[in-house]
Chain A
Amino acid sequence: MTEQEISTKEKQPVQGQEKTRAGRFFLPEVDIEELSDSLKLWADMPGVKQSDVEVTLDGGILTIVGTVSTGAYQKLAPLYTEYNVGNYFRQFELNEDIDDQRIKASMRDGVLELTLPKSERARPRRIEVNAR
């Protein structure tokens, strides 16, 4: 076997409470980075178009839902399959105080990019130490 940097992980179905919305849901793979003034999140949701992604922040719970349209598959007969096609769903409880008015989200090539700016209160600040 030759060396290969990327391998494919099997998609994990969403466990837990049942959704009212029908269809299979999988967990998108995410990266979350912490910056001094914000959090950055990327989620891989191949097959999800910009119009089919929904991001909500409610009571400190960040919810990401991506819907995949399966219409294009209707006329196709599968010969060989390695991955499942389904919607994406993931929730995070945010510990940080996020300024929900300034959240930015963009979708490109099946990757959701979220910028979650910390609210003024949550930002680290330097406290001047004065001489007495």
Chain B
Amino acid sequence: MALLRYSPDSDPVTNLLTLQSDLERFLRNPAYQLGVSGFGGFPPVNIFDTGDGVAVIAEIPGIEPKSISVSGQGHTLTIKGERRRETSTEASGYHRRERSFGEFSRSLQLPEQLDLDKAAATYDAGMLTVKVPKAEAAKPRQIAVQPA
């Protein structure tokens, strides 16, 4: 990261935003990766709010559904597996080799109000979806108002 001389003329908001993006870039840099669960780990995940819980959707193309293991412990969701290269018997050469293979394991920390015991996972077209519902205790409830 380059050191820039502070100039009082520049807009403080822009300065802050620049600092923010510098920090984000720093954190996303693979050399400073904060463990395997950081950005850039495999599989990449998107997390969505479904209203009654969250859906963790991971892109894991070309894997046997049997060989994916999804487990929960406490508030940690772990996705594990191995991606194997299709066997080719007599290839005489490669023109492209861009896809990556190997073992992977990724753990995500989920908020406390989710119930990992009731999580359900599906695998379709190379997408793994893990739905984790909200814990009963965290659901909104109506409190009846009694006449005094």
Q: Interface on A for B, CB 8 Å cutoff?
A: 1-2, 4-9, 29-36, 39-40, 42, 44-49, 73, 75-83, 85, 108-111, 113
B94: chain A residues at CB < 8 Å are: 31-34
| B103 partner, pick from A5, A76, A77, A109, beta carbons under 8 A | A5
- In the complex, which range does the number of interface residues on chain B fall in? 35 or more
Indicate if B50 sits at the interface (CB-CB under 8 A): yes
B106 closest partner in A (C-beta): A4
B96, A32: Cβ atoms under 8 Å?
Answer: yes
Complex CA distance for A42 and B102, rounded to whole angstroms:
16
Chain B positions 24-61 with a Cβ under 8 Å from a chain A Cβ = 30, 33, 35-36, 39-51, 54-55, 59-61
A40: chain B residues at CB < 8 Å are: 88, 91
> Which of A8, A29, A81, A85 has the most B CB atoms < 10 Å from its CB?
A8
B96, A31: Cβ atoms under 8 Å?
Answer: yes
Complex CA distance for A113 and B88, rounded to whole angstroms:
12
B49 closest partner in A (C-beta): A77
Indicate if B75 sits at the interface (CB-CB under 8 A): no
B147 to chain A, nearest CB (A): 39
Question: What's the dominant secondary structure at chain B's contact region?
Answer: loop
Indicate if B95 sits at the interface (CB-CB under 8 A): yes
| B62 partner, pick from A30, A44, A75, beta carbons under 8 A | A44
Question: Given that A40-B88, A75-B50, A82-B44 are contacting pairs, would A110 and B98 also be in contact in the complex, using a CB cutoff of 8 Å?
Answer: no
| B47 partner, pick from A29, A39, A75, A81, beta carbons under 8 A | A81
B61, A46: Cβ atoms under 8 Å?
Answer: yes
A-B contact pairs, 12 of them (CB 8 A): A4-B41, A6-B101, A6-B103, A7-B42, A30-B98, A42-B86, A75-B51, A76-B55, A79-B47, A80-B46, A80-B47, A109-B63
